[in-house]
């Protein structure tokens, strides 16, 4: 096992989802130092092939074991896939109990940044319990490096992991708020939380 591990979480059931997960795996391999990190991308597991002899127990046992080995995780929460949300919950608990666990949430739905028209049925919504993790004080400011980030695409997610690994490998001292803003630009676009205003 290598020094670090990353788990890529997201639905993989339609052609588009399958291809997106494959693309993300390639972006991670192209961006990160493969001598230092293992990439666990469930779309690449043999038993996730539709023709394989998949079992519920086998899927849970293997995914859970790789989740436990990973310091980093990227989450595509756009469609509220229940399996991805379970993985997210496991990682949140890990991160709250370990300062060396890092969560990168990907929000690539353009509707997230479009203001809703008053009087119209909202065209987009997100669960506040899930998105509230992005504002958790302990995960943001409680340790040497912020532990939770929001990005707009998979390339940005790979770069966040690379930047955190650079800090860890070179034992750098960082300005936490500046580092977070640089690596979680999407979160600051909302501008609704006083803590983030003016940063």
pLDDT tens-place string over residues 37-48: 999 998 887 665
- Asked if 39 and 8 touch (Cβ cutoff 8 Å), the reply is yes
The whole-number pLDDT of residue 198 equals 46
Confidence of residue 199 (pLDDT cuts 50, 70, 90): very low
Q: Pick 17 or 92 by higher pLDDT.
A: 92
Q: Which residues contact 58 (CB under 8 A, 6 or more apart)?
A: 47
- In the chain, what percentage of residues exceed pLDDT 90? 57
Q: What is the DSSP letter of 72?
A: E
For 93, how many CA atoms within 13 A lie in the half-sphere containing its CB?
7
Q: Pick 144 or 124 by higher pLDDT.
A: 144
Tell me the CA end-to-end span of the chain in Å, nearest whole number: 39
Exposed, middle or buried, 30 (CB in 10 Å: 0-12/13-18/19+)? exposed
pTM: 0.87
List pLDDT tens digits, range 132-171.
Answer: 999 999 999 999 999 999 998 999 999 999 999 999 999 9
The fold adopted by the segment(s) 4-196 is: Rossmann fold (3.40.50)
Strand locations in 19-123 (E): 37-40, 72-76, 102-106
* Every domain of the chain and the residues it spans: 4-196
């Amino acid at each position: 096992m290598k020094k670090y591990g990353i788990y890529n979480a997201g639905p993989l059931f339609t052609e588009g989802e399958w291809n997106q997960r494959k693309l993300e795996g390639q972006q991670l391999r192209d961006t990160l130092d493969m001598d230092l990190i293992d990439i666990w991308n469930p779309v690449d597991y043999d038993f996730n092939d539709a023709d394989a002899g998949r079992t519920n127990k086998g899927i849970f046992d293997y995914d859970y074991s790789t989740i436990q080995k990973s310091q980093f995780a990227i989450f595509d929460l756009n469609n509220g896939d229940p399996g991805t949300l379970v993985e997210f919950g496991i990682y949140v608990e890990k991160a709250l109990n370990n300062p060396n666990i890092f969560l990168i949430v990907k929000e690539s739905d353009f509707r997230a940044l479009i203001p809703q028209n008053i009087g119209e049925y909202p065209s987009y919504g997100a669960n506040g319990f899930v998105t509230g993790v992005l504002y958790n004080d302990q995960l943001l400011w409680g340790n040497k490096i912020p532990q939770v980030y929001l990005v707009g695409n998979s390339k940005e997610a790979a770069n966040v992991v690379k930047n955190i690994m650079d800090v860890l490998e070179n034992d750098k001292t960082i300005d936490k708020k500046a580092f977070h803003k640089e690596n979680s630009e999407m979160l600051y676009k909302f501008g609704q939380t006083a803590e983030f205003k003016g940063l």
